[in-house]
Chain A
Amino acid sequence: ETGVTQTPRHLVMGMTNKKSLKCEQHLGHNAMYWYKQSAKKPLELMFVYSLEERVENNSVPSRFSPECPNSSHLFLHLHTLQPEDSALYLCASSQVLLGRGTDEKLFFGSGTQLSVL
């Protein structure tokens, strides 16, 4: 148990659906991240939030929309996805934005396995 909880664990959706992924951390961390894990590819950083403000957005298509209402919760809203968006979506958190503290460590959730039909 890493203290980072993601729901749902599995999600199947059609290309016209709208769904949301949820991440919650109980660690008192101030930075949260979304990563995409596809088979045989490096982990892709999607979004970074620090103190509820987005600090990085790595050219992610607009069909992915993040939301960070407070430092404990992070959402990824999905709409009109494509089959190539099927992947494991991982949420992570860190005490502060990495590089600004002494502990450079990410805590990951177990991920949401997304299948787009």
Chain B
Amino acid sequence: KQEVTQIPAALSVPEGENLVLNCSFTDSAIYNLQWFRQDPGKGLTSLLLIQSSQREQTSGRLNASLDKSSGRSTLYIAASQPGDSATYLCAVRIIQGAQKLVFGQGTRLTINP
């Protein structure tokens, strides 16, 4: 059974710092890995999607990497801003079991002005 773990559960940093969020998964048989952002009381916003054949994806200040063989992904946020405060979730799309996403429990990020 695929399990996804995110560390740390919560992170608080001052504005302007670069930071890394970690995601690990137990089964490397995945189609892709997706990073989402969730604001309090809101749905999920897709940030980056990395296919299993790719090593990284970039969008603005965000860079996500994927090491499928070791079961790890990182989300790098450069020059953090207070507006980046949210919960960040990673999810893997597994090969066995149709097309469902298996999510981690999320990292709650707070950027202090």
Question: Does chain A bind chain B?
Answer: no
Q: Which residues of B pack against A, CB within 8 Å? A: none
